[in-house]
Every structure is written in structure tokens, then in C-alpha cells.
Amino acid sequence: MLPDSPSAQTQGRPALILASSSRYRRELLERLRIPFSTAVPAIDETPRAGETPEATALRLAGEKARAVAAALPAGAARTLVIGSDQVATFDGRQIGKPGTHERALEQLQSMRGREVLFHSALSLLDTSTGQTDSVDVVTKVRFRDLPDAALDAYLRAEEPYDCAGSAKSEGLGIALLEAIESDDPTALIGLPLIALTRMLLAAGYPLLEAQS
């Protein structure tokens, strides 16, 4: 639960923690060239009965941030905790991470030629105030109508079994897609950086100042 390495305040910047075990989110946050640490939030990610995909994503993003913040030592310096969660849905059904080749193939077969909505929720918790800024960024993805052999070949090449929707748009998975519609191009990968940088700047985090 505690961060993997301290992200101490530097030159007036609050510490920054990414509440996630996802390597994809970590790689995206590294693009901002700012110091941060990561911590794995211990929460139950099961959707609740009757919960909409947007509500599930927003709730889990907030719970991840709060779980990590609650584990910080008493009296810790001001820290900004980033929580994020993604839920894919079509035909009113939520689509989770497949986990296996067989489930991934079933996902891709059911989605070919169809439009899928990806809800990428983001929460930024400020431990100095307890306030959380949250947003749900929706990405519309239309899959190509490809034969089983092509879908199977893709899965064996990239093994995207830890990705909701069973395709990595930042890799070979882009060949499975006809169109992507989103206000934030990194949202589909798992961490909406346009929304995140807006939140960080609003929280007074000096993203664009010279760093020593």
C-alpha cells in the first residue's frame, strides 16, 4: 500500500503518488517528467449491482486514491494522489480484462464491427485539504470486422490479456480499429494526461517551470 519509493517535496512541489499497479499508467505519467512514486491500492474492484459504467469507473478511481492516501504516515507532507480506473462497455455490458487468450478472443469476436465505449476515470486527491477532483473521459472506439484468424494472430503477437477490450491501441492493436473518438488521446491507454495536467495545474503543481 505504501509508495514504492518516497516522492519527497522538491522546490515547493507536493509529493505525487500514482495509486496504481499498471505499467501503462506509470509509463504515461513518466511523459510529464515529474518525480512520483507508485502504490498499489488494496480495494475491491467488483462493479456494484445496477451501477453504470461511468459510476463504476469514477467510484474506483476515487477509492484507489483514498486508499493510498489513508495509508500515508500521520503528519506526512502535502501529497497529491492520482487514482484512475477504466471500464469498457457495449450493448450495456461492462467488459473487463480478459486474463486469458480464450476470453480475449471471445471479447474481440463479440466487438468486431461494433462501437465500444471506454470510460477512463481520473481522481486527484489533495491530502492537505481532503478534496478530490474527478472526471470521466469517454473514448468511442469502432472495431474492424476481422476474421477469427486475424484476431487470433493479433492476440498471440501482443498478448493484451491485461487490457480491457483485449487490444492495445498504442501497439499492434491499432490494426483492429477503424476509428477512435476522444478529447484526450491518452485516455484509451489508461491515464488521461490532458485532464490530469489540468488538475495538477489547478492544484498549484508547477508542471512547466524549470526543474533543477
Domains present along the chain, CATH in parentheses? 15-202 (3.90.950.10)
Active site residue 85: yes
Mind listing the pLDDT tens digit for each residue in 61-99? 999 999 999 999 988 899 999 999 999 998 878 888 899
Query: What is the pairing mode between strands 93-95 and 79-90?
Result: antiparallel
85, 126, 136, 184: the active-site residue: 85
Please give the mean pLDDT across all residues of the chain.
91
Cα dist from 171 to 7, 40, 126, 187, whole Å: 30, 25, 34, 15
pLDDT (average), residues 18-38:
95
pTM of the model: 0.87
Q: What is the pLDDT of residue 131?
A: 94
Q: What is the pLDDT of residue 2?
A: 47
More confident residue, 127 or 48: 127
Q: What is the pLDDT of residue 45?
A: 82
Q: Binning pLDDT at 50, 70 and 90, where does residue 11 land?
A: low
Q: What is the pLDDT of residue 10?
A: 54
> d(Cα 125, Cα 134) in Å, to the nearest integer?
9
Q: What is the pLDDT of residue 3?
A: 54
Percent of the chain topping pLDDT 90: 75
